[in-house]
Structure formats: C-alpha cells, structure tokens
C-alpha cells in the first residue's frame, strides 16, 4: 500500500497504471542455436517432441547449444 501511495505521489495515476516488463531469466541456448532452430521451423517439417528438438540441436550445432546442462 505504501509503495502505491509513493508511486501515486510521484507520478499520479499514470505511474500506477504503467506496465513494466520484468527482465526475466537469461536464455539457456546460444543465439546461433536459436537462429538455426528458427530457420529449421520455417521449413515446415516440425519436430515430434522436445527430445527431437534437443537431438537436432546437438547434431546440427556439433554439441550442446546451451550454456549449461538442461534437465
């Protein structure tokens, strides 16, 4: 409640209604792997499962395309 009042006093109703974007987590997959995956998806072939995507990424990228192991 106190933060709401502080925001209102600082910027009025506009400040209270402003939508701010959360920073979110950093990507776990390299930008090059994302670009390659986007291009593959444009072909229309698609993937049958998450595992198929991971297998494709490992094959095409020559190793794990993520910054750390994923479960």
pTM exceeds 0.85? no
Cross-strand bridge partners of residue 29 = 66
Give pLDDT, residue 42: 92
pLDDT exceeds 80 at position 70? no
Does residue 28 lie in a domain region? yes
Element (H, E) at 35: helix 31-42
Does residue 4 lie in a domain region? no
* Total domains present in the chain: 1
Does residue 60 lie in a domain region? yes
Does residue 57 lie in a domain region? yes
Does residue 68 lie in a domain region? yes
Give 12-22 pLDDT, tens digit per residue.
Answer: 888 878 878 77
Cross-strand bridge partners of residue 21 = none
Give 24-41 pLDDT, tens digit per residue.
Answer: 887 777 788 888 889 999
Spatial CB neighbours of 18, under 8 Å, sequence gap ≥ 6: 11
Does residue 11 lie in a domain region? no
Does residue 6 lie in a domain region? no
Tell me the average pLDDT of the chain. Answer: 81
Residue 40 belongs to domain spanning: 24-71
Does residue 30 lie in a domain region? yes
């Amino acid at each position: 409640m106190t933060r709401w009042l502080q925001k209102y006093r600082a910027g009025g109703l506009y400040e209270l209604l402003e939508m701010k974007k959360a920073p979110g987590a950093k990507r776990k997959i390299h930008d090059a792997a994302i670009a390659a995956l986007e291009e593959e998806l444009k072909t229309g072939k698609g993937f049958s499962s998450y595992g198929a995507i991971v297998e494709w990424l490992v094959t095409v990228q020559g190793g794990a395309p993520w910054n750390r192991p994923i479960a």
